[in-house]
A and B are shown apart, each in its own frame.
Chain A
Amino acid sequence: EDKVVQSPLSLVVHEGDTVTLNCSYEVTNFRSLLWYKQEKKAPTFLFMLTSSGIEKKSGRLSSILDKKELSSILNITATQTGDSAIYLCAVTTGTASKLTFGTGTRLQVTL
């Protein structure tokens, strides 16, 4: 059975700190790993990482895929209160017609 584990479950930091969120996976025939940010409502897409695109960056957010370690990290530098959200990691495979989600990391950024 495909499995995605995120850590930590929750995190509280001060504005300006740098945070690293972790996602590890055990799946058959890995295809891609996706990061989503969920504030109050629907998850919104951040990054997709594949074998041909193992590093992505957008502003203060960046993500790396480590295919050897079967994991990914999401880095947020100079955090702001607007970064407070649940960050979800999901994995797709070459055969399954679904995303497998982790339980998410709840990030709270305080002043």
Chain B
Amino acid sequence: NAGVTQTPKFQVLKTGQSMTLQCAQDMNHEYMSWYRQDPGMGLRLIHYSVGAGITDQGEVPNGYNVSRSTTEDFPLRLLSAAPSQTSVYFCASSYSPPSGVYNEQFFGPGTRLTVL
């Protein structure tokens, strides 16, 4: 079991560029989510998915898109990067949604993104 994997580990973008952060899990988890972590702000939810084909917005969705075509993969797309999107991004998955019983979140190693 690889758990939750994320690529790339580091990325530098120029303002206005687009890119996709990849996230995959091999635990057959239905629930997947993307967080960003900024100093003094804790982890903030960007988007989440309760299953293939179903996604919804979190607290800070602006500037990001997601899709969930398979159970395993949950990519995060930055449409037009801005310096305010400089952050560390974590993907997480769990067997059930946070409101469920088996809601322990497993986190990927993170992607450190810098937007110049």
Contact = CB atoms under 8 A, between A and B. Distances in A.
Contacts of B106: 45
B105 A45 contact: yes
Interface string A33-50: 010000001111100100
Given A45-B106, A97-B56, A103 B41 contact: yes
Given A42-B90, A45-B104, A88 B45 contact: no
B110 interface: yes
A95 B107 CA distance: 22
A59 interface: no
A98 B43 contact: no
B107 A92 contact: no
Contact of B48 (A41, A43, A97): A97
A13 B44 CA distance: 29
Interface of B: 4, 31, 33, 35, 40-45, 48, 50, 56, 58-59, 90, 97-99, 103-110
A78 interface: no
Contacts, number: 65
A99 interface: yes
B107 A97 contact: no
B104 A34 contact: yes
Contacts of B33: 98
27 contacts: A31-B98, A31-B99, A32-B103, A34-B103, A42-B4, A42-B107, A42-B110, A43-B43, A43-B105, A45-B105, A88-B43, A90-B43, A92-B98, A92-B99, A93-B98, A95-B99, A96-B99, A97-B48, A97-B50, A97-B56, A97-B98, A97-B99, A98-B59, A98-B98, A99-B45, A99-B105, A103-B40
A45 to B, nearest CB: 5
A25 interface: no
A103 B110 CA distance: 17
A94 B103 CA distance: 11
